[in-house]
Every structure is written in structure tokens, then in C-alpha cells.
Amino acid sequence: MTEMNLVQAIQSALRGALREDENVLLMGEDIGALGGVFRVTQGLREEFGPDRVLDAPLSETGILGTAIGMALHGLRPVSEIQFADFIFPGFDQLVSEAAKYRYRTAGEFHVPMVVRTPYGGGIRGGQYHSQSPEALFIHTPGLKVVCPSNPYDAKGLLLDAIADDDPVLFFEPKRVYRAVKMEVPETTYRVPLGEAKVVRPGEKITCLAWGAMLYEAFAAAEEVAEQGVDVEVIDLRTLWPLDLETIVSSVKKTGRVVIVHEAPRTCGFGGELVALIVEHAFLYLEAPPVRVTGWDTPFPLTHEREYLPLAHRIVPALLETAGY
């Protein structure tokens, strides 16, 4: 076991995958010589060579289209998009091609590719470096969507994603890239996709979160505990396929739910979570489900604290829900 931050854990996963499977390769803008904007791939080109750690042109469409072709021919490409905000030029490749190959070929072909990308706010990146577009990809049948919150899960989930035979979007919360450290095995291991984790047991309210917002939800839960409100916090980890069983089981126990995400509110994934909870646990609810989210505006440069659903916005939602 070695203490690692999120960057180090992801790099460890990539190194392990490159060592264990000669079909794994990395591709992205400046990931080779530079090691990527956040230095996640630093040193990997020197270790594995330029044929397996490829510096790509500044073309997200080209990166993702090439990865699809590689995957169809038996390779397992892991593409990096520098920021989730830059993924949209390649959106068509993902939703019209990668997501559909298994369906359109009746299972004859599959696309085992991973797209890594830093997402979310917290670094004063403004509207072009802070977006959280996960709902767009969850809405697309054929894509899996993952968002770890900590180094241990990040490594295990990434290794499981690389081994998966379907395309996986791997959103990395850049706000906690170097802010969180924990003990992580140096050896390879997997955290299965599709399994949520209860990180704080509780009896009064279920709070769902992922990525960097998990820490805000946890902090809010600790604060309201001093007022006698016992909150169960669940880290979704994999957004799709969703671990609905864990969510519904918790809501049936608590009767109340608060959902936290930093993407805009309207048509955010929180809305789908509310719908699923109402469909599967309506008769157990003792209060209306509540969402604490980003606002329906472009991400602001100078008002991040007001935009993000930080603990100071989650606490009132928890208290109001508890007292309903």
C-alpha cells in the first residue's frame, strides 16, 4: 500500500494496464512529452514508448474517431480529453458511433475504449473549463459513465473500465486531483462498475452524490448530525449502469432523499434519480425529494462559491427535508 492522490492513483492504474495488456494504449493532446495538462500521464511515454502513449493533434473528433477504429480492431485505447468542456467536438463520434456499434452489429462488434476527462469546477476555470456534462452521456444508450471520488476507487474503477468491452466515459473530479490522499495498493485490482458505496450510514435522510460533491455532502451531513439529523451518504461511483438497488434500499429505510450534483439543475442526472426513486419507493417517501445543484447558467468565473452546491447550500436542504 502506498499513499496516493487521485492523479497518482489514475497514473498507477494506467501503468498497470499498459504492463498487463499489450493491446492497451493511451492517446491524447500533450499526454506524452508533457504528461497532460494535469500531469496524469507523466513519465509513461518514457516507460512504454511513443507507440503506446501517443501525442494526438488538437482534434477531439480525431482522437475519439481514431480510438473507435482502434477498438474495433482489437486494441483497448484510453483517450484523454483535456477538459470535459472540450469533448463536444467529438460528441458525434461517441453518441452516433461508439455507443451504437454493439447494437447495429447485433453484438458482432464491440468498442472497448475508455475516455478519461477532468470535469467540474473548483479551480476557477470559468465557463470553458468547469462543466459537468455527465447527463448528456448517461442519456445515450450504449455508453457507461463513471465518476470516482477518491484515489482507491479511481484506480479500481479505471482498471475495470479498461477491461470492459463497451465504451466508458471516465469523469475525473479535478477539484480533488491533489486534495485527497489515501492508501492505495500498488498492484492492480478492480472496483466493479455499477456498484454504489455507502460512505456514511444514517437513518434519517439519504444523500446521493458523486465526484467532488461527495465531500460537500459528507461535510453537510456531519454538520447537521450535531442537530440530531442522521444522514446516510451514498457515493454513486458509477452513474450508469446505476446501482438502483442500493439507492432504493436506503430510501426505503430513511424515507427522505437529497441529491447533490454540480451540473445545472434542469435535466441534470438528479432529475432522473428523483424519477427512479419515485417509481420504486414512492410509498416509502415521507418528504418530497430535493435537489441541490448548479444553477441553470453558464459556469461563472468569479462566483464559483455561489454556483457550486457546497456544504453551506446542502445543510439547509437537509434540515428542511428532515423537518418536513
212-229 per-position pLDDT tens digit:
999 999 999 999 999 999
Please tell me if the domain spanning 2-184 has the same topology as the one spanning 197-322: yes
What is the pLDDT, as a whole number, of residue 75?
A: 98
Is the pLDDT at 126 greater than 90? The verdict is no
Q: In the CATH hierarchy, which fold is given to the domain comprising 2-184?
A: Rossmann fold (3.40.50)
Closest CA to 71 of 35, 27, 41, 104: 27
The confidence band for 122, taking pLDDT boundaries of 50, 70 and 90, is confident
Is the pLDDT at 301 greater than 90? The verdict is no
What is the pLDDT, as a whole number, of residue 138?
A: 98
What is the pLDDT, as a whole number, of residue 60?
A: 97
Q: What is the pLDDT of residues 222-277, one digit of tens each?
A: 999 999 999 999 999 999 999 999 999 999 999 999 999 999 999 999 999 999 99
Is the pLDDT at 15 greater than 90? The verdict is yes
153 and 10 Cβ atoms separated by less than 8 Å:
no
73 is catalytic: no
Closest CA to 132 of 29, 275, 265: 265
**Bridge partners, residue 292, by sequence:** 260
What is the pLDDT, as a whole number, of residue 302?
A: 83
- Segment 42-48 shows an average pLDDT of 97
- Segment 149-166 shows an average pLDDT of 98
Indicate the angle between helix axes 269-281 and 244-254, nearest 10 degrees.
60
What is the pLDDT, as a whole number, of residue 226?
A: 96
Q: Domain ranges for the chain, please list them.
A: 2-184, 197-322
Long-range contacts of 59-65 (CB under 8 A, 24+ apart): 59/89, 60/86, 60/87, 60/88, 60/89, 60/90, 61/89, 61/90, 61/92, 61/93, 63/27, 63/28, 63/29, 63/90, 64/90, 64/93, 64/94, 64/98, 64/115, 65/90, 65/93, 65/97
Whether CATH 2.40.30.10 fits 197-322? no
What is the pLDDT, as a whole number, of residue 125?
A: 87
73, 110, 129, 280: which one is catalytic?
129
Rg of the Cα atoms in the chain: 19
